[in-house]
A and B are shown apart, each in its own frame.
Chain A
Amino acid sequence: MKIDFTHKQTAHCENGVVSNLMAYNGFPVSEPMVFGIGSGLLYCYIPFLKVNHAPAITYRVMPGQIFKKFAKRVGIKIKKEKFKNPKEAKARLDENLAQNNPVGLQVGVFNLAYFPDEYRFHFNAHNLVVYGKEDNSYLISDPIMEKVTKLTERELEKVRFAKGAFAPKGHIYYPIDFPKELDLKNAIIKGIKQTCKDMLAPIPILGVKGIKHVASLIRKWPKKHGVKKANHYLGQIVRMQEEIGTGGGGFRYIFAAFLQESSAILKNNKLAELSKEMTEIGNLWRDFALNASRIYKNRKALQDSYESVATQLDEIADREKVFFTQLKKTIK
């Protein structure tokens, strides 16, 4: 059986699943809209979580939060379930497909057969849509892939029950109740307000302060850990910022696109101007990644070069502080 589902490639998996499921249910909402309303943008340094033997830095909110907040703000209801038993998880999936209902799944990417080998790390917060089943293979719409793909029953079970941080535990989710019309205006305002609050939070590892904090750590890394480890950490930062899914510049371009779209919906010109500023800030993040890559490219870096990328980060933090303060005022 195959559900008439339109696959559309997006930058980020969670936005993509939400956007594509919404479109299937008759509510076309763009990826940036989902991301912005769900307050996806964030910066958080998480020292106790190690990814690939380096401290984690996230440029977005926790997995699942975008959909949760988006749903609440536009007034749809989602059904979510996790399982201990893989058989039950499979039964629930099959039930939904039999009722012509495409569903979102959280999966781990390490055993995701259609992924290029070098992208297969133990990352468990990936999302995809299952839209049918043919010859014991599930039909998969993975939003970051150009085209739809397939997974066997065994392959799908493996990725649904991946282990480690954020283990999916067979997590399945789908919208079940929609309002007559989506109240985008209020949802946009709520989304922006929260992002401003998060980015300006008085917490040392979060938002603008978090960026400053990481800048100060980068200055210490070469002395504290040696050049090899410092470069590994720096490389990991760039990967978390630019690897598949952020749309470029650690989600800043997607956020700028969201502000541009919102400016038209709310008939607020100031938002269009702020969108331009966010694009500029996104460019600064790209420059930072470029300069950082020059350091870890040849593995023989001088203290000066760490100092210079750290200063770049400080500048970004200052500019984002002004940006989010203005955005907060604009939306009041």
Chain B
Amino acid sequence: MRKEDVPQDKSSLGSASFKELCYAVDENGEYITAKSTGWNPKKIALDNAIQEINERTERAMKRVVNNETSPIEYYMELNKMDVSILSSYVGVWSWRVKKHFKPSVFKKLSTKVLEKYAEVFNISVTELQQIKE
């Protein structure tokens, strides 16, 4: 990559003011570093990834409303987690986390377990129980 080719594409997201360092060659063929505001191919990939997460979160919300899953799954998606990440944060086996996705099991969870989840999601137990659309 030549110095003048270091991309300066703009992002509409919060990272707009964020500049990263790239390596490029100057007119004498010497390596230099140059700041870049962004590059469209990866901006699109990042935007898509975020959209994907939003879609997953919305789907989880619908399933909570339809009583097909518990709010734990919704908050897991909202926090960009998957079952294995959530499992390591709450210190509960993955298969048990999956069980807690069942609305019937969720209703019977002890306050202690609910508190663990709430703490990880940075919300109160009430918020965890009464999910708002």
Chain A residues with CB under 8 Å of chain B are 9-11, 32, 50, 52-53, 110, 116-122, 144, 146, 163-165, 167, 231-232, 235-236, 238-239, 242-245, 247-249, 253-254, 256-257, 260-261, 275-276, 279, 282-283, 286, 289-290, 292-293, 296-297
Q: Once the chains are docked, how many angstroms separate the CA of A235 from the CA of B53?
A: 14
With A11-B33, A163-B85 as known contacts, state yes or no: A238 contacts B45, CB within 8 Å: yes
With A32-B31, A122-B80 as known contacts, state yes or no: A247 contacts B22, CB within 8 Å: yes
With A11-B20, A32-B31, A248-B24 as known contacts, state yes or no: A110 contacts B50, CB within 8 Å: no
Shortest A47–chain B CB gap in Å is: 15
Q: Contact between B1 and A249 (Cβ–Cβ < 8 Å)?
A: yes
Q: Contact between B1 and A243 (Cβ–Cβ < 8 Å)?
A: no
With A9-B21, A247-B21, A253-B22 as known contacts, state yes or no: A239 contacts B50, CB within 8 Å: no
Binds A, one of B11-19, B67-75, B98-106, B110-118: B11-19
Closest 7 CB pairs of A and B: A293-B41, A116-B15, A257-B31, A253-B23, A235-B45, A163-B88, A164-B85
By secondary structure, the A interface counts as helix
By a CB distance below 8 angstroms, the chain A residues around B85 are 122, 163-165
Q: Is B40 an interface residue (CB 8 A)?
A: yes
By a CB distance below 8 angstroms, the chain A residues around B14 are 116-118
Q: Is B44 an interface residue (CB 8 A)?
A: yes
Q: Is B93 an interface residue (CB 8 A)?
A: no
Q: Is B84 an interface residue (CB 8 A)?
A: yes
Q: Contact between A236 and B80 (Cβ–Cβ < 8 Å)?
A: no
Chain B residues with CB under 8 Å of chain A are 1, 6, 13-15, 18-25, 29-31, 33, 35, 39-42, 44-46, 48-50, 52-53, 79-82, 84-85, 88-89
The contact sample of 8 A-B pairs, CB cut-off 8 A, is A52-B52, A53-B52, A116-B15, A116-B18, A119-B15, A236-B49, A253-B24, A257-B23
Q: Once the chains are docked, how many angstroms separate the CA of A292 from the CA of B44?
A: 11
Q: Contact between B50 and A248 (Cβ–Cβ < 8 Å)?
A: no
By a CB distance below 8 angstroms, the chain B residues around A243 are 42, 46
Residue of B nearest to A249 (CB): B1
By a CB distance below 8 angstroms, the chain A residues around B18 are 116, 119
Q: Tell me which of B6, B13, B18, B29 has the highest count of chain A C-beta atoms within 10 A of its own C-beta.
A: B18
